[in-house]
Amino acid sequence: MGRFIIALVAALWVAALPAHSATSQFKGLSVLSKELSARIAPEDGPIELDRFMPADGLDDLVGTWAAFGTEHKFQNGMPNAVNMVLLRLAFSGFAQSLAKSCKAPQLLLNDSFYDTLEAVCTWPSGEAKSEEVLTGFWLSLMGYDAPQEEYAIWRDFVLGAYAKKTAPEAIEAMTLALMLNPYFLLAQ
């Protein structure tokens, strides 16, 4: 009987939660920047994705923490058409910077990722398309946040649609395709 009452109370509590509490929100540029920095940037040169936003304050529109007195809450993280436009805009800028880094470094990158990028910069060579290089690129940006099959689908897409493209075109598309993936963007 006791267990039943606890289960009932728990069920009622869950049912009473606002709808958005059952929905993942965007992590926000601050968290994404930290995650990317840990994966691809040197310790003293973090990635700051907000620099790819065209105006101050826009990074707040894609998910941010706000304080009111002693209360802290995450806001603007619910996916909507405006923050999708803004994320695509910012990530396009980041992806272009990464692609341009083949010729001249545009971002501070750690040695491990720099080696991977250097190999991808030889696209459409066989080395750039190797499993080792593509896995390295994927894991460097995505980490282990996505299921294995997401990697395989992404790999097949870039090897198909971008097989004969130039390195900058391929890198830009590879980066955007990965960064606009829900497993990269959404808090789990």
Partner 1 sequence: MIHSRRDVLRFGLTGAATLLLPHAGLLEAAEADALVEDPHFFLMIVLSGGADASYMFDARPLAMTAAGKIQNYLGEDPFPCAGRNGITSAATSLIKPLLPFKDRFSVMNGVVMTPSFDGHAQNMNFLFTGDPFGGDSFIPHLNLAETGHNPDAVDAIVPADQADFTALNHSGVIPLEPKVLRGLPERLRQLPPAHASDPLTSFVRSRIEAAAQGSGRLSGGASLMLTALDNSPVVHRKLAALSPSNPDQSTEKQSIALIAECFRLSLSRAAIYVLPEQFDVHAPELAKTQPKLFSGAIEKVAALLQGLADTPYDAKRSMFDVTTVMLASEFGRTMRAPDMAIDATGTNHNQYSNSILMGGKGIRGGMVIGASDMADLISPISKAHLAVDPVLEKTLGMPFDFKTMRPRADLPEAFDVEDYLTIGSVVNTLYAVFDVPQPHHRKLGLDKRAAPVLQGLLS
Residues near partner 1 (CB under 8 A) are 16, 18-20, 22-26, 54-58, 60-61, 66-68, 71, 73-85, 88-89, 92, 150, 153-154, 157, 161, 173, 176-177, 180-183, 185-188
Nearer to partner 1 by Cβ, of 8 and 85: the residue is 85
* 88, amino acid identity: R
Nearer to partner 1 by Cβ, of 62 and 109: the residue is 62
SS3 content of the chain, % helix, strand, coil (to 5): 60, 5, 35
Nearest-5° angle of CA 92, CA 97, CA 98?
Answer: 100
Smallest separation, CB 132 to partner 1 (Å): 23
Q: Which residue has the tokens 């894991």?
A: 139
Q: Are 183 and 24 in contact (CB under 8 A)?
A: no
Smallest separation, CB 15 to partner 1 (Å): 12
Smallest separation, CB 70 to partner 1 (Å): 12
Beta bridge pairs of residue 67: 72
CA proximity to 29, closest of 9, 7, 52? 52
Q: Are 83 and 57 in contact (CB under 8 A)?
A: no
Smallest separation, CB 171 to partner 1 (Å): 12
Nearer to partner 1 by Cβ, of 91 and 113: the residue is 91
Nearer to partner 1 by Cβ, of 77 and 136: the residue is 77
